[in-house]
Structure 1
Amino acid sequence: MLLAEEPATLISHTIDNFNIQPDRQAIARINESLSTLQQARELRLREAENALKIATHPTLQKDNIHPNPYQSRTQTDIPPTELSRQLNTMTSQHAELTSTHSSTAHASEIARLDTTKFRTAKAASDAEMEAERLAQQAADLNARLQELEIQGLDGSADDQARRRDPVDDEVLLRLKVYRSLGIEIERDGKDGGTGEFTRAVVRNDRKGDVHVVNMDKKFSKFFYANYFWQTL
């Protein structure tokens, strides 16, 4: 079937079916963009060369540069004398700032502030610990006060016992020791008596003996001590 048709007709139908016109237009736009980009690059290159010539040769006239009339005034359009003044001004400002803010003084100030901060933190911690200790002490004192209020003005029996005369405590201790040995000592119970020990009852549980001894001042304490030990 293909051989029955004309080759020119087949090629024409193929071209119509492919529709390469949009592609050709796209290629044309790309070429135009490339041309515009190339012109822009050449223009920027010429401007850079002119700026370099101005920086190198300040006496060169601006009329020979042919600047772009639509280009705004840039740093390269500023006269060299004005640039020099700006450089001197900025150099002076930098020197002033450098002399005012010394790095050594800044480091010393930072170290001093850090030391002050640490000391303040330690003082605050110590104060907090002291406050807790005083609060605990106040709680203990309050508890002790409540205990004393409950006991009353006279205090408990144990407190009264602790407030007794030390001499009485010594006598009671001696009587307790004697009683543990089996010896009971009695005071003079008569009216107007001296209250001294005048009688002793000695019990010997092992022998079953009981001896009553009337203590007289004409015999010494050593005599009664030997007698008690012999009886026991």
Structure 2
Amino acid sequence: MSTVNAMQEPLKLIRACMGLFNASEDLETIAKVNKAVIEAEEIRTREQEESRNTLRALSRQLELAKGNATRPPDHPDENAHTQKINTLDLQKFSLAKNIREMEGEMVSLEAQISSLREESEQIDREQEAPDNLELDDKVIRLHIYRALGVELQITEESNFAEAKIASTAQNDVKTVSLDDKYSRFFYVNYLWDMIEPTH
């Protein structure tokens, strides 16, 4: 009986000790620790990948900086580039100025062509007139004034209506109305005064 009691004592002790342990809580703790370890490992892996990406980006920037720092032999430096831009600007302004001058010359030439065309038509009309038509004093005066740059307009009543004085110096045409307000002597002197500065 003593032997049985002796064996029961350790069993009681073991049962008492087992009551002190909570297997479910221990498993929960182990699971939490395991999860924390896995999460820490994932965070460390992400940080390592980000560090590697940052390093690769910095390496690319360094290579680009090295490439930009060493210019090829045929690449112009900054001063040469600026000088070339200035030269192109000057050429552009010079070309624009030449175009404006050419446009002005074209306008002047068109005016001269128009005047010559009118003169040619006038000559054609005179040539178509009868050969037996004698030149009177007005026709003679018309030719004289035209040679001096003055074109006289005659009305149907054979009266002088107006005079156009062409100025080659000022590149324009002045028109003077010839009415009965003033005498012929006044108009003759007035026209001569206008003719002299233009020739």
Which range, TM-score by smaller chain? 0.3 to 0.5
Larger radius of gyration: 1
Question: Higher relative contact order by CA 8 Å / sep ≥ 6: 1 or 2?
Answer: 2
